[in-house]
């Protein structure tokens, strides 16, 4: 089995149960500015950052005057949900298990510093998290590879020595563009077929199942040396 010494974890939808909160916040924010987009389409775009998501949903040739206001509305609507956010089953235990096997754990997030602080408090695994990225570290968000490359830089790792763990096709595509293998989970609402079709090396139902399958996963053993 080929394994790695660096584990780059997406946060929203992978470690924390937030994907549908984001979808609802974007849907409501768009409606506030008279952009009607079916909620199902909005959900399929979650995992992209605001820059990519609005292009994807509204088109690149749109009037962009309201982009900043729509994004701010999303952020406010989503922040209102912070008190009820929970970690996904086995998330913190998975991070500790990977760290115990010698992996360097880096959170690969495009959240703001304030938001990431709140999410890390819910996750409650700072004892094994070596580093994390934020929105300030990237010029373009997923599916661009910038976030994965920033996380690699934080880890001091080469692409071949890392695995990215994510929950959306955008995670899988971004990891692939950065030359990093991706282990995917279905907790963001994308199916195993979709994730494998985007290039995931393996798919698990959620972090609890990945933890149970760890010995058979790409994350199973640290790379020697």
Give the per-residue pLDDT at 222: 52
Bond from prior residue into 143 cis (ω within 30 degrees of 0)? yes
CA atoms within 13 A on the CB side of 42: 20
Asked if 57 contacts 50 with a C-beta cutoff of 8 angstroms, the reply is no
pLDDT in tens, 113-170: 999 999 999 999 999 999 999 989 998 889 999 999 999 999 999 999 999 999 999 9
Angle subtended by helix axes 67-79 and 113-123, to nearest 10:
30
Q: For 159-218, what is each residue's pLDDT tens digit?
A: 999 999 999 999 999 999 999 999 999 999 999 999 999 999 999 999 999 999 999 999
147 close to 41: Cβ distance less than 8 angstroms: no
Determine what percent of the chain falls in helix, strand and coil, rounding each to the nearest 5. Answer: 50, 15, 35
In this prediction the pTM is 0.94
19-83 maps to CATH 3.90.930 = no
Q: pLDDT band for 72, please (50, 70, 90 cuts).
A: very high
Question: What are the sequence ranges of the domains in the chain?
Answer: 6-17+85-216, 19-83
CA–CA separation, 190 and 111 (whole Å): 21
Rounded-to-integer distance, Cα 120 and Cα 72, Å = 22
Class of domain 6-17+85-216: alpha beta
Residue 73 clears pLDDT 80, i.e. is over it: yes
Are 159 and 177 spatial neighbours (Cβ–Cβ below 8 Å)?
no
pLDDT band at 220 (very low <50, low <70, confident <90, very high): confident
| Average pLDDT taken over every residue of the chain | 94
Cα–Cα distance measured from residue 166 to residue 9, given in angstroms and rounded to the nearest whole number: 7
Sign of CA dihedral 152, 161, 14, 187: positive
* Residue 163 phi, psi dihedral angles, 5° rounding: -130, 135
Give the integer Cα–Cα distance in Å for 148 and 175. Answer: 6
Maximum distance among all alpha carbons in the chain?
56
Give the pLDDT of residue 189: 97
């Amino acid at each position: 089995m080929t394994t790695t010494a660096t584990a780059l974890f997406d946060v929203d939808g992978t470690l924390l149960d937030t994907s549908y909160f984001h979808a609802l916040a974007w849907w409501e924010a768009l409606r506030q500015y008279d952009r009607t987009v079916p909620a199902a389409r909005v959900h399929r775009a979650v995992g992209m950052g605001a820059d990519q998501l609005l292009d994807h949903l509204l088109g690149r040739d749109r009037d962009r005057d309201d982009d900043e206001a729509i994004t701010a509305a999303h952020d406010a609507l989503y922040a209102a949900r912070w008190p009820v956010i929970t970690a996904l089953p086995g998330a913190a235990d998975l991070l500790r298990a990977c760290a115990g096997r010698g992996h360097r754990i880096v959170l690969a997030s495009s959240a703001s510093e304030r938001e990431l602080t709140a999410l890390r408090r819910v996750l409650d695994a700072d004892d094994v998290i070596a580093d994390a990225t934020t929105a300030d570290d990237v010029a373009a968000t997923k599916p661009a590879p910038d976030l994965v490359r920033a996380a690699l830089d934080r880890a001091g790792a080469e692409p071949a020595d890392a695995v990215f763990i994510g929950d959306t096709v955008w995670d899988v595509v971004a990891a692939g563009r950065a030359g990093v293998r991706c282990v995917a989970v279905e907790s963001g609402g994308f199916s195993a077929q979709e994730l494998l079709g985007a290039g995931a090396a393996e798919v698990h139902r959620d972090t609890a199942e990945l933890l149970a399958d760890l010995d058979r996963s790409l994350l199973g053993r640290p790379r020697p040396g």
